[in-house]
Structure formats: structure tokens, C-alpha cells
Structure 1
């Protein structure tokens, strides 16, 4: 027989309410899925700008084509002249220009060495080669500083231009370009020129050799 008194204010079972008999709580049902997490990267907005790399450095220096479009936009990978800017110089023109300059400076070097030593010995040829390196460095630095053209480039209708705006190379750019092209060849003979040229063949989109990369220059046509 139960001793529970229905007139008592305390509930049955020891005077403590049962959790199983509590009234339902207000709010969404327990099976409602949680709200989705916020989208986007935590780096989308920060104290340094809209993105962590959109500061004062801007984008890649090679991201915007100073010639108004892709320099290899024509079928077959040929250069494309847009908005009045010159197209990139072709590889045959660039190679022939180098050969012309090489022959000119090499002949001058040997003519200067000839009065002091004969070419019947190894010393005569070695002296001519060393003089060639020195003369070529000076020759290219001076000529490019003037208008971006050596004699070979004038003959083949190409010139060196600043990548940023197509203008003639600055003095520092001209001498940097000449030094990076010439001085490493002193240590590894002509192998440096081969590696330098092959680098430019695979470079996209401006066909820059290593000496162009170092000076931020590009070779364009003057036609």
C-alpha cells in the first residue's frame, strides 16, 4: 500500500523531482544539425591586407605582360606585337647577332695580341682568349648602355629592352647583363653559354636567358 499523500507539495519518490518527468525544454529539437562552419581561409582578412601576400610587393614581376598580351600568342609559338610594342626577337636573329659580335671581338683580340706573341704556341692563343673576355665584357656593357644594341644586334634588327616598360637598358642593367653573360664563361669556357642559351629556350613567356633574368631585360625586334 502506497504511503504517498496526493495533497503533499512534495513529489513521490523521496521529495526530489524526477528528470524523466521534467517538462520539455524550449528550443530546437536535438536532431537539428549544427550550423555549418564559416567558409573561406582564415587568411582572407588580416591586419596586413585582404590576403597575406597582397602587400606592398604586389604580384609577380612577370605576371603582367608589358607588351599587352602573350608574347607567344600566335600559332606555332611566334611572337606577338600588341598595342604598338615590339614583338620578341626570334632565336635565329639572336643567335646570329651573338655570332657576329663574337667574330668581331675575337678578331680584334687576336690582332691586339699578335704583335706581342705568336700563335705558334699555346700562350698566343690563350692570351687572345683572355683578352677576348675582357673586350667583350666592355663592348657589350658600353653598347647596351647606349641604346640596347651591339653591332650584331643592329645587323639582325633586335635590341635589348627593359622588361618593365620596353625602354633601353639602364646602365646597371646593361653591365649586369654583360657580366652575367661573360664572367662565368671564364671559369667553365663555352659551356656556360650553352647552359645560358638552353635556359632561354625553355623560359616562358619572355624567352629570357639567365643574363636577361639577372638584369630584368628582354630581347625584342626592331622591325
Structure 2
């Protein structure tokens, strides 16, 4: 039985070319989640697990109108949070986590969202991906949060193949030039969301199709 084809990862120079092209399409890439502060960003990203950004934004519109600080969120209570986010998946557990992380931010971090990955990951419902998003988007840190879109794009194109999100993250960090680190997460996630889609990638309209190692490209 023949061995599966090994896709060679991109070199730093090839990665620079890829990011340069994506940056021309989206010069100022940003998250599509609505937020007004590091705190509301933490909450929005925590709520986005297994939910769409559009769905999260609909839910947080009312939630943040009622509680846009940790103090207000704790005062709203788990029941109040749950009532406002019940349109998104796993809303019961997410309401519990949002209430708990808000309380933790007040008690352990003086009401301010911490700026380190370790501290962020200590918050209920916040994992490495969420921490990386907050560090990048709210605090300008050169982190790359590997979600399903970035994992797919990195493996499909050969940009940074890996068996786990952490492995992909480390490879992306190794080959992404410093000038592109701040925007890399957003360029890749938006490319995966709108072009390099899971079921049918839009290869004919892809700006990096000639760099991509994917053999089964969608025909024009």
C-alpha cells in the first residue's frame, strides 16, 4: 500500500509571499466579533466556540448592553447571562464560564483583563486559542490562534502542516516573518472562512492558488 503523499511545508520566503498577497486583499484585518474592550473581547471569544461570529454578535448585542464590565456581568448573574445568550450553542455552560471568569478577573486581577497567556488561560472557559486571540487583538501581541479554519488552511496549502493545533501554531510561528505576525491570524482565518472553505474551496478566485500544495483544486 503506497504511503500518503507528504506535503512539504512552506519556506519563510514562500510564507512571506503568501502573507503579502493576503495583506493586499485585507490591509487591516480584524476579528469579526463585536467588542468594545478587552473584557468584552474575552467574553465574545469564549462564547464563539462551536458558534458563528454572526450568531455570537447577535447574542452579545443585548448581553453587552446590560453588562460590559466584569462587575456588571457578575451582578447580572448566571441566570441573566444565560437568558441573553440562549440562541448560541452550549449556552448553559458558557453562561457559567462567563460569570465565573468575570468574578475571577475582579478577585484576582483587579477588574482588568490580564495580559499574559498563562493568566488568561487560568480563566474559566478560556483556552490557548482564546488567549491567543485576546493577546493579538486587544494587546497587539504577535500570537497566532489556530482555529478550525487556520488548521485547515495550514494543512491543505502546506503552509504549516501539523497533526494538532499546537503543532500548526508552532510551525506558523517558525515560518511567519516578523512583519506579518500581527496580522497572520486574521489573514488565515478570513481566507479559510471565505475562500479556502471546508467543503468546496474557491480555488479559481484564490490569490495564493499557485503557491498552494493542494492537488485537488476546485476547477474553474
Task: Give the TM-score range, shorter chain.
Answer: under 0.3
Structure number with greater CO (CA < 8 Å, separation at least 6) is: 2
Q: Compute the TM-score of the two structures, normalised by the length of structure 1.
A: 0.24
Q: Compute the TM-score of the two structures, normalised by the length of structure 2.
A: 0.24
Of Structure 1 and Structure 2, the greater strand share is in 1
Tell me which structure has the larger Cα radius of gyration: 1
